[in-house]
Amino acid sequence: MVISFEEKDRAVIESKGITIIEFKRGLYNLKKGIDETLKTLKDMNDKIQKVWNVCVEKLLEAVDSIRLVFEQISEAYHYQTSRRYRIVKVFSKCTGLDMRVWWNFTFKIRRWLARSRCKIM
């Protein structure tokens, strides 16, 4: 990094009791400190973003599990259920796996289909 000063700048710096070399070294160290701080902030931002994404994903899964319970309740009282629930019910009967496993599996597929702009169940 090259820093050049004019004669009037040199006079102001030296009037403060600092040499030009010390002043330049201070600027260099300040720049280095700011760069390190920015790098640390970017790393913290990435970590916070990862934590936030995990929290959002878990929250969406919890809401989806609650939706499964509502679908099971509506089926128990003979209300109309979603096509997704009917498919999950068929898969669970065919494979013998728990409904919750298929429900979570179709949740991920449903989100993928929604992102690709396809019609979902």
- In angstroms, the CA 101 to CA 75 distance is 18
Q: Answer whether 78's CB lies under 8 Å from 88's CB.
A: no
Q: Answer whether 5's CB lies under 8 Å from 20's CB.
A: yes
- In angstroms, the CA 104 to CA 84 distance is 11
List the chain pLDDT tens, one digit each, 121 residues: 677 788 898 899 999 999 989 999 999 999 999 999 999 999 999 999 999 999 999 999 999 889 888 888 888 888 777 777 777 888 788 888 778 887 777 776 765 555 555 554 4
103 C-beta neighbours (distance < 10 Å), count:
24
Q: Which residue has the tokens 């970017």?
A: 42
